[in-house]
Amino acid sequence: MESSRASLVLQGFLPGTETPADDLDQQLLRGRYAELRMLFYIGKDLMRWMEQCAESAIFSGQFEGRRIRPETFAVFLVQHVPDHVRCKLESWGVLDFCALFRRSIGLHTVFHDFPSPESFSPDFLRRYHRHLDLWYEQRLRDSVFDRPQPHQFTFDLFASGEYTLMLEQSWGDGNPKE
């Protein structure tokens, strides 16, 4: 929140405070680094999901002769989000989830491990959004894969708590068998 407020003050959208511009800029950079870190870990989960989806599709035999790759599912996730997933994300307050997914995948395409704050230039931190979008697009250009059609695949999305509850319910009475 401090980062967002600092950004708005620096851009002139909020009245100036007594906080020096350099301090506001540091707040902005710390917040941007935290955003990047969040995107990195979301990207890590998405990459694992995309790889598992591609493996499952290939092993199912339904897509024999097709070039189903992790990128197939990246495009599906960014461009063809099912309505029930869209509604769930919006109910969680994630409105621009396509950008979130695209940027998470783009960031994780470049970095295997998340770099320290000192590894990023301040200019990159201020404008990382454009870079991540381009990294995502470049990954798609560099890969040979079949693009998915809307409604070609079905999936759902669960918060950790939802998934835990589903597991407990699948055990029957909510307690694992000993």
27 in a structural domain? no
Look at residue 38 and tell me whether its pLDDT is greater than 80: yes
17 in a structural domain? no
* pTM of the predicted protein model: 0.79
101 in a structural domain? yes
79 in a structural domain? yes
Cα within 13 Å of Cα(122), Cβ side: 7
Give me the domain span that covers residue 152.
38-170
Give the residue from 93, 97, 98, 95 showing the smallest Cα distance to 79.
98
2 in a structural domain? no
Query: How many domains are contained in the chain?
Result: 1
61 in a structural domain? yes
In single-letter form, the type of residue at position 61 comes to G
More confident residue, 24 or 156: 156
25 in a structural domain? no
Q: What is the pLDDT of residues 96-154, one digit of tens each?
A: 999 999 999 999 999 999 999 999 999 999 999 999 999 999 999 999 999 998 888 88
116 in a structural domain? yes
